[in-house]
Structure 1
Amino acid sequence: MEDIAANKTTLCPSAKPEWKDSIVFGLISGTVTEPRVAYLKQALPVTDELMAKASPVTPTEIFRTAAPCATKGCQHFDGKDCRLAQRIVDQLPAVVEELPPCSIRRDCRWWLQEGKAACMRCPQTITDNYNPSELMRAVATPSAS
C-alpha cells in the first residue's frame, strides 16, 4: 500500500476528519485529564466506515487526523506560519523525551515550522478536547498569540 501522505502538500496535524483528503495518523489514548496520541505506523485514509468505528463518540475523540494545510483559510495561519504550532511550542511543556514515531512528520507543518520542539508536545494535542486545562484552552485560542 502506498504512503498516503507522500503525495500531499504540507499537512495540518490538527485537521478535522471531514476536511478534504484527511488521513488518520493517530489514536487518542491516555486518560481524560492526560490524553495522549498513539501514533499509527502508517496513516489511513478517512472513510465513512472508519469514522463509524468511533460511535457513539465523535471521531475526533478517537482519531487524530491530518489534512492539507488550509493556509489562508485557517484562523491560525498568519500568512507565513501556523500560530497554533508557535503557541504549542512556546507555552506547552514537552510530554515525551524522544521523537514519537509519526507517519506524517516529513510533510507536517508543525515539524517543518517548529521542528523537534513541536513533536515533543504533539502527543498531548487533541483536536476536540472536551476537558482541556486552562493552559490548553489558551493555547488553542487564536487570540492567545
Structure 2
Amino acid sequence: MEDITAQRTTLCPSARPESVNGVVFGVVGGKATEPRIAYLKQPLPMTEELMAKASPVTPGEIFRTATSCIESGCQHFNGKDCSLAMRVVDKLPVVTEDLPPCSIRRNCRWWQQEGKAACRRCPQVITDDYAPSKKVRQAADPAV
C-alpha cells in the first residue's frame, strides 16, 4: 500500500474533514462524556464517499483528519509554532502514558513541535465536539 503521507512534510492533525488532500488517521470512539480516538494503522484519503458515511452526524464528529499544515494561513499559527498544540499541552490532561499507535506521527506538526506531551493528550481531541469540557474549550480558543 502506498504511503499517502509521504509527500507531505508537515501535517496538521486537527484539520477539518473537508480540507483539501485530507487523510483520516483516527475514528472517534469511547463514551460521549469521554471520547477517545482509535488510530488507524494507515491513514485513508478523505473522500466524498467517506464523508457521506458519517451521516447523519458531521464527519468531524467521527473522524480525526490531517492535511498539510498551512502555517500563516491558520488562526492557530503564531508565525513560528502551532499555538493550538501548545494550548493542548498546557490545558488538557494526559490521557495515556503510552504513545498512541499514530500513523501520521513522523509528519505531525504537534509531534515535531511538542513531542510526547502532545501525543499523550491527542486521543481526546475531537474535531466537532458539541459538548466540550471547559478545558477543551480553552485549548481550542485561539484568543486564550
State the identity %: 68
Amino acid at match of 2:74: C
Matched residue SS, 1:61: helix
Task: Tell me how many residue pairs correspond in the alignment.
Answer: 144
* Cross-structure match for 1:93: 93
Task: Please give the residue correspondences for 1:52-131 in structure 2 after superposition, counting only pairs within 5 Å.
Answer: 52-131=52-131
Alpha-carbon deviations, 1:118-141, whole Å to 9, x = none? 000000001111110111101100
User: How far 1:56 moved relative to its partner?
Assistant: 0.7
Alpha-carbon distance between aligned partners in 2 of 1:105 and 1:21, rounded to the nearest angstrom: 17
Aligned pair 1:22/2:22, yes or no?
yes
TM-score scaled by structure 2? 0.98
User: How far 1:9 moved relative to its partner?
Assistant: 2.1
**Dislocated runs of 4+, deviation >2 Å:** none
Alpha-carbon distance between aligned partners in 1 of 2:79 and 2:98, rounded to the nearest angstrom: 31
Matched residue SS, 1:39: strand
* Cross-structure match for 1:41: 41
Matched residue SS, 1:51: helix
Alpha-carbon deviations, 1:103-123, whole Å to 9, x = none? 000000000000000000000
Alpha-carbon distance between aligned partners in 2 of 1:29 and 1:23, rounded to the nearest angstrom: 18
Task: Give unmatched runs, 5+ long, in structure 2.
Answer: none
Task: Give unmatched runs, 5+ long, in structure 1.
Answer: none
